[in-house]
Amino acid sequence: MSSDGSSSSSSNPGDSPGGSEPSRASSSDTVVAVAGSRGSRQPLSRRGHFKSRMGCFNCKRRRVKCNELRPHCSPCRRLALDCAYPPTPTPAAASSSLRPNPSMLALEDLRFHHQFLTAAIPPLPLKAEKAWLDCAAMSHEYDFLAHAALGLGASHLTCHTNADYTSQALHHRLIAIKQVNEQLTSPPSDQKTLDALLAALFCLITQASLIDDGLADYMTIIRGGHLIVIIIIGENMDKSVFPGFTVEGHHQNSHELVREDQRDDMTDANDFEMSLMTLQPLVKAPYEHRYFALMSQIPVALRRSSEDSWAVFSMLFRFPATFTNEEFLELVNPENHCSRLLLIHMFLVDYVLAAICLSPDTPVKAPARKHVIIKWARAAAASMPADCKRYTHWIESYCDKLEKTNDCRHLFTP
């Protein structure tokens, strides 16, 4: 998706519950352009992008130009990614490789849909299982929702079974993103279509959390989803199939899940706080100071109560929706070392808090998400220059600890 690059006006982070490189827009950037349409429903601008028919999976997923060098293209070699290419299609297969219409289903799509319904439904909004069944029933009317759900199901199967449906997951994801973009060029006014759009975004966000190099896409679609709720849906959320997707509704549902007992071991929380304080001298930009200040409130709130710390984390999770487009692009710029370290601290403290706030028997539908977050964290730590390595000590040690446990609890973020 493409962004028009214009600045968005700051939004109140409490307006909605709960993100691509600046010069190489990710597949999810268009959703950010909605920030410029507050108070109106003007068509959203779209930026063109290079289409590489035979590019590698990573470049296709990130929507960057692949030079198609083999065995490793230049972008993958630069980012130390595993470079893999789709099989070269035969003439017969090429004519049938793209199925833009979900009615033209392959048999494997039925498996993806079953996986979506039984195991891969997004964790947000909280306690919205019935609403998701309604959304699944709506998917036959909205191609973008059907493809988003099928893509999520395919990624979930790939991460949690021995099967590899990476190409199918990417296929459905790219179609869903393209069709969501088309919807956002002229935002709909009827509630049913708005709900379908919101559901598709939840699916795309959740799928990004299962993709090894999906950090920028994840943050971009999260930001776009918050802005859509604030700007397009706004006061009509009470008429939505997700009526509980408000700050008040999220906090109420969180209150029913939180536990306040057995909070004796605060080692990880204290280590997180010390790591954050070590990082403070690196914080320079105004938006980094605001982000850092809010993140610093988490351990303070945790000393008061688990519920307070979860509330602060929820605010931090949606906070990038308050950034201008320029600030946000800097936040997700992998060459901005401070911002990348702040983001990784945010992803990891999610697991620190969950171990304290949630019961040990809390069900987790996507345990593979933890291993993807660890890959994001390790990749960020490895990319730091020598003078920034000291800021990664807690990241690396906590990833080692997290990797050795079977605990996959997180605070119900996608």
Summarize pLDDT for 170-194 with one digit per residue, the tens.
999 999 999 998 888 887 778 888 8
- pLDDT score of 276 more than 80: yes
- pLDDT score of 403 more than 80: yes
pLDDT tens, residue by residue, 121-144: 888 777 777 778 888 888 888 999
Could you tell me if 377 and 89 are in contact, meaning their C-beta atoms sit under 8 angstroms apart?
no
pLDDT of 42 reads 46
- pLDDT score of 212 more than 50: yes
> Which pair of tokens denotes residue 314?
């929820």
- pLDDT score of 60 more than 60: yes
What pLDDT band is residue 244 in, cutting at 50, 70 and 90?
A: low
Could you tell me if 210 and 334 are in contact, meaning their C-beta atoms sit under 8 angstroms apart?
no
Query: Which of these ranges, 100-109, 199-208, 358-367, 377-386, has the smallest mean pLDDT?
Result: 100-109
Highest mean pLDDT among 75-84, 234-243, 293-302: 293-302
Please indicate whether residue 262 or residue 399 has the higher confidence score (pLDDT).
399
- pLDDT score of 101 more than 90: no
Residues 238-265 as b/e (b if ≥16 CB within 10 A, e otherwise) read: eebbbebbbbebbeebbeebbeeeeeee
- pLDDT score of 29 more than 70: no
* Residue 102 to residue 150: CA distance in whole angstroms: 9
Query: Which of these ranges, 73-77, 336-340, 348-352, has the smallest mean pLDDT?
Result: 73-77
- pLDDT score of 20 more than 70: no
pLDDT of 53 reads 58
pLDDT tens, residue by residue, 301-340: 999 888 899 999 999 998 998 899 999 999 999 999 999 9
What pLDDT band is residue 152 in, cutting at 50, 70 and 90?
A: very high
**Mean of all residue pLDDT scores within the chain:** 80
Please indicate whether residue 59 or residue 124 has the higher confidence score (pLDDT).
59
First to last CA, the chain: 19
Could you tell me if 225 and 180 are in contact, meaning their C-beta atoms sit under 8 angstroms apart?
no
Q: pTM here?
A: 0.74
What pLDDT band is residue 46 in, cutting at 50, 70 and 90?
A: very low
pLDDT of 93 reads 43
pLDDT of 104 reads 54
pLDDT of 263 reads 60
- pLDDT score of 407 more than 80: yes
Q: Which of 300, 296, 141, 315 is nearest to 226 (CA)?
A: 315
pLDDT of 269 reads 94
